[in-house]
Amino acid sequence: MTVVGDSRFEDLISDLSVRANSDRETLLKLIQEKKSKVGAGYLTDQGALFLVASDLGVSMDYDHQRPASLSHLELDQRSVTVLGRILSIGVPKIFTRKGDSTKGMIGKLIIYDSTTPAIVTLWDTATSKILDPNLGIKPGDTIKISEAYTKPGLDGKPELNVGEKGRVEKLDESDPNVKKIETIDRFVILPSNVSDGGKFLVIRGKVAGEVRKSSFSRSDGSASTLTSFSMTDELGSGNAMRVVIWNNSSPNFENLREGDIITLLNVRAKISTFQNSTALEIHGDENTCIRESFDETQKWLIERTKEFAPSEGGSSAKEKSATTTPSRPLPFVGRIISKRYNSGDKKYHLLLLDSQKRKISVTASDDAAKNLGENEITTDVVIICKPEAFDQSTLRASCSSANSISKVVSKRPDIPLSSSLVVKVEDLPAEEGAVVSLELICLNDQVSREIQTKEGLVKRSEISVADHTGEVKVFGWRNLSKQLEEFSAGDRILLNAVEVQIFEGRKFLLLKNYSTVEKKPITA
């Protein structure tokens, strides 16, 4: 619960004092009055402050969606969002999982922001998302990565990971946040200026002499390759430095010739012994790129990742094989926790709870939808569902025939009621994807935006809400955004069957197809 004196509250009230041209004591008095009018004990001081700000015509955003700084990443974070400029895109590797012998893909991305460079590990379809030709992402571009997570790298420090849920967005250079991140050109150095110990270097120069390629076996028996050549400053001045690129099979280096002017992205400098002499060398690996030839390399990378590219339906071939269901799914019994009709697709969207407390999403269309509309099959009614399709991995079922959904006479006390999902803000589960219901008050008018995604511009509405234990944000995407548009600051609402999501360690609520939002009367 927020109390006067909390640092977040003090920052907000100071901001409001300036923007509303009002002194702190007056604002505190208005906050207490607002709490008493809404209902004693229903709002925190911070929640009441948002309502006071709305009354005064000041828009204050309870914003928790600010991207994380790469230098402030911590271990075991979930739902992380970062902005970074791409230094290099590595060559992905295919591997076999020990547990089930399925194939996987892992790739590396090096990005940096205004604070530090960072390694991003890409798993399976995440590599395809980075290389999506519709996005046209290449070294030097700035991207926004959402729904990432961190885990320890080889050095024990936090390393960013992007999996199937991860999202990638290319940002325009006119974006103010992009302008804060230096371009790659600002980091370019000449071979003659390289010093020992440098990492994540950008070196531009001329290929001098023959480009050699060789293969060998390591002491553990594994195969290894290297490409080596010498490099001088662009004008051929200065001493030539030896460059060694390890295990990089991309066309970046296959087509390299003497005299080429190249920019090596993501290399390091180290003292090495070669042919009985010790000298400073430039070393790279599978995550090293040549900027000038990346267009050709990108085509090669796309071909290499096709096996793990998302299909038109949004799932990889691996996912489809994992979610194959029997042609005749077995019937099941469940209690209706939430029921919403979508006039757009003329379907009912249900959330059911069964005796195992599984939350099953059911879409009813055609005769099944007509049956739901004409009969008293409402929230907390127990039904037997005979679906035409049921995905056991995602717990999603679909029904279309009239007899696919029918009431069950038995009260089934072993299946929880919809009230079992009701929680307070402070008690929101730490489990991402948990479904809950809450009674809340709106802290500001809803805000709608057009968000650029891979599919194009998508509408998103959001509103800040609160109870007496805390504040949180609610988001509705696409057609679900309409459910939030009729609400404004001071409205009391019942959110039924919404999903808990986590962003940079902070929770928010997401409307699902089966979620409902109901306006409740405010009593003093």
pLDDT per residue as tens digits for the range 182-216: 999 999 999 999 988 789 999 999 999 899 998 88
> What's the pLDDT band for 2 if we cut at 50, 70, 90?
very low
Res 83 pLDDT > 60? yes
In angstroms, rounded to a whole number, what is the distance separating the alpha carbons of residues 186 and 81? Answer: 25
State yes or no: pLDDT of 4 exceeds 50.
Answer: no
Number of alpha carbons in the 13 Å side-chain half-sphere of residue 139: 25
Band the pLDDT of 499: cuts 50, 70, 90.
very high
Identify which has the larger pLDDT, 33 or 313: 33
Q: Which fold has domain 70-179?
A: OB fold (Dihydrolipoamide Acetyltransferase, E2P) (2.40.50)
Confidence class for position 313, pLDDT limits 50, 70, 90:
very low
The pLDDT assigned to 105 comes to: 87
**Average pLDDT for 35-55:** 74
pLDDT recorded at residue 187: 94
Cβ neighbours of residue 472 under 8 Å, at least 6 residues apart?
A: 425, 428, 440, 464, 465, 466, 507, 508, 509
Q: Which residue has the higher pLDDT, 503 or 174?
A: 174
Average pLDDT over residues 454-461: 76
The pLDDT score that the predictor gives to residue 452 is 65
Could you give the 3-state DSSP secondary structure of residue 300? helix
Q: Give the model confidence (pLDDT) of 319-349 as tens digits.
A: 444 443 345 678 889 999 999 988 888 899 9
Is residue 147 scored above 60 in pLDDT? yes
Contacts of 153-159 spanning 24+ positions with Cβ under 8 A: 153/119, 158/73, 158/74, 158/75, 158/77, 159/118, 159/119, 159/120, 159/121
pLDDT at 447 over 50: yes
Q: What percent of the chain has pLDDT over 90?
A: 30
pLDDT for 512 beyond 50 = yes
Residue matched to tokens 């400053």? 233
Point out the least confidently predicted range of 124-133, 314-323, 382-391, 400-409.
314-323
Q: How confident is the model at residue 458 (pLDDT cuts 50, 70, 90)?
A: confident
Same fold flag, 332-407 and 422-520: yes
For the domain bounded by 332-407, which CATH number is listed? 2.40.50.140
Given a cut of 60, whether residue 454 has pLDDT beyond it is no
pLDDT of residue 66: 53
Contacts of residue 76, defined as CB under 8 A and 6 or more positions apart, other chains included, come to: 149, 150, 151
Of 42 and 27, the one with more pLDDT? 27
Asked whether the predicted pLDDT for residue 115 surpasses 70, the reply is yes
pLDDT score recorded for residue 8:
61
The pLDDT of residue 51: 82
Is 315's pLDDT higher than 60? no
pLDDT of residue 179: 85
**pTM of the predicted model as reported, rounded to 2 decimal places:** 0.53
- Return the domain boundaries, the chain: 7-55, 70-179, 184-306, 332-407, 422-520
Residue 112 predicted with pLDDT over 80? yes
Q: Rounded to whole angstroms, how far apart are CA atoms 76 and 505?
A: 10
More confident residue, 268 or 356: 268
The CA distance from 340 to 517, in Å, is 10
Architecture, CATH, for domain 422-520: Beta Barrel (2.40)
Residue 140 confidence (pLDDT): 95
CATH class of 184-306: mainly beta
What's the mean pLDDT in 306-318?
56
Residue 15, pLDDT > 90, answer: no
- Answer whether residue 312 shows pLDDT above 90: no
**Dihedral of the alpha carbons of 7, 8, 12, 15, in degrees to the nearest 10:** 60
Cα–Cα dist 376/333, whole Å: 17
Query: What is the rounded average pLDDT for all residues in the chain?
Result: 83
In the prediction, which pLDDT does 3 show?
A: 40
Q: Give the pLDDT band of residue 11 (cuts 50, 70, 90).
A: low
Q: What is the mean pLDDT of residues 505-511?
A: 86
Least confident of 30-44, 86-100, 321-335: 321-335
On whether the CB atoms of residues 46 and 107 are closer than 8 A, the answer is no
Question: Can you give the pLDDT at residue 326?
Answer: 43
pLDDT over 80 (residue 444): yes
257-271, 299-313, 384-398: range with highest mean pLDDT: 257-271
Mean pLDDT across 250-254: 84
Give the pLDDT band of residue 229 (cuts 50, 70, 90): very high
